[in-house]
Homo-oligomer: A and B are copies of this chain.
Amino acid sequence: MGVQTAVELALHPDRLLPAEPHVRDIARRLYDAVRDAPLISPHGHVDPHLLLDNQPFPDPATLFVTPDHYVTRLLHADGVDLADLGVGQGPLSPDAARRVWRLLCEHWPVFRGTPVRYWLEAELAEIFGVTERPSAATADAIYDQVSARLRDDAYRPRALYARFRLAVLVTTSDPCDDLAAHAALAADPTWHGRVIPAFRPDAYLEPAQPGWPDAVARLGVAAGVDTGDYPGYLQALAERRRYFIAHGARSTDHSHPDARTDPLGPAEAARIYRAALAGAATPDEAVAFRRHMLTEMARMSCDDGLVMTLHPGVRRNHHLPTFERYGPDTGHDIPIRIEFTDALRPLLNRYGTYPGFHLVVFTVDETVWSRELAPLAGFYPSLYVGSPWWFLDAPAAQRRFREAVSETAGFTRTSGFVDDTRAFCSIPARHDLSRRVDAGVLARLVADYRLSEDEAAQTAVDLVSTQPTRVFKL
């Protein structure tokens, strides 16, 4: 289109609200009731050192591009080499950072229609005061403007935490993590936020993973328990859960290729455990053990009260050459079909009505929303349908989620919003997007005369406050 001149970047106050004027009016009132409510973030991937150290973000590329696979994947699909985006290269030089930023701005049109575009625009406009649409023509000016702000103390992580109205931020941590960062933060009298860990034991539950014997040995060291046999292994896991609880943890997080939960007898579990330690477990045995351990995790949650969250059904590191060069989380984890009705049945038959046990199930296969998850959550008091996750964390998908789930399970059987991000500055935009979408969903129910506006407003408020607090025991 020739040389592009600068175009205004402005966030319209009614963005994402329904188009029909009467419904938009209702939605606007519902959104107003939650717009400024504190942000509860029950699951995510922000590094606690970010808030402990409170160092300035180094540059716009490191803040918005290089570590965020939501952003780099579409640029890669459009032909940009991940190396040119700084992936896998450690800190960027000032020149490299500016070049990465220019690549983002030049490829701005590829993000049309995506939530990445929505989040980035909201971050640039609301946090950094940017008023021009990113493009080749405006890249340098925006880079300079954001860079200047980043040197200001008001843009350090702790200041942003307060400005974002974050009430609690849950990180995802390895069971062997000493949680020193969480402890130091909690002990810091100048810090008034709440950053707590979630217990993420996947690597220790999958004997098929390379290096698994070493992992469970490390687990034993961390727990002060001999993991040379199966009872010791269970004890070590229970120990580490207790350690996490002592550091504020309220939940565990699990992500396996499938959701099966078939229990093994203790002798069989112990036998496979020994074989796996010796590197002699068959692939089938390794899978059987992992499935068994998911039910064991539920048993431990009944004991210690940790909420169990499940994010299955993703083929990790789909493109091996990229994985080998750049490592995991580089944009090529691809969803697969998932099944819950039969898979979770053993677990739910044991613990599905256990008082106080909470299992929150997320999916990237949306076919299970109406078919399996809503019916399960509509009967089992323990099971909650997790809000749309990852690829589905976007306006149309979130509307499909509400349409698919609410008619069977209402609103109270859903988890409330989960931002699930490592991009700290995107947290407010992600929650805001969700609040706008839910306001629209509820407004349509009001316009349909299926819900009165007072109830819709109550529901909107519940979904961002009572509901996540209760479901995640925060």
Residues of A within 8 A of B (CB): 1, 7, 11-12, 14-23, 73-74, 76-79, 109-115, 117-118, 133, 315, 318-322, 331-337, 339, 341-342, 345, 348-349, 352-353, 364-367, 370-372, 374-381, 383, 391-392, 394-397, 400, 402-404, 406-413, 444-445, 447-452, 454-455, 458-459
Q: Contacts A111-B410, A113-B450, A322-B353 given; 19 further ones with Cβ under 8 A?
A: A15-B450, A74-B409, A74-B413, A76-B379, A77-B380, A77-B381, A79-B381, A109-B455, A109-B459, A112-B455, A113-B411, A118-B450, A318-B349, A319-B379, A319-B380, A331-B379, A334-B376, A336-B371, A397-B403
Point out the residues of chain B lying under 8 angstroms from A452, CB to CB: 7, 133
Cβ A352 vs Cβ B112 within 8 A:
no
Contact in complex: A319, B407 (CB < 8 Å): no
- A-B residue pairs in contact (CB < 8 Å), sample of 6: A12-B449, A20-B20, A79-B381, A111-B410, A133-B452, A315-B342
Q: With A73-B379, A450-B15 as given contacts, are A335 and B341 in contact (CB-CB < 8 Å)?
A: yes
A410 to B74, CA, bound (A): 8
- Residues of B close to A322: CB separation below 8 A: 353
Q: In whole angstroms, what is the CA distance A444 to B407 when docked?
A: 22
Which residues of the partner chain B approach A19 to less than 8 Å between Cβ atoms?
A: 18, 20, 22-23, 444, 447-448
B114 touches A408 (CB 8 A): yes
Partner of A377 from B18, B77, B364, B447 at Cβ < 8 Å? B77
Docked complex Cα distance between A353 and B115 (Å): 25
B contact residues around A110 at 8 Å (CB): 410, 412-413
Instruction: Name the B residues within 8 Å of A370 (CB-CB).
Output: 366, 391-392, 397
Within 8 Å by CB of A449, from B14, B318, B348, lies: B14
- Of A16, A23, A133, A332, the most chain B CB neighbours within 10 A belong to A332
Chain B residue with Cβ nearest A320 = B349
* Measured CA separation A118–B379 after assembly (Å): 19
The answer to whether A76 and B381 touch (CB under 8 A), given A334-B375, A335-B371, is yes
Residues of B within 8 A of A396 (CB): 403-404, 406-407
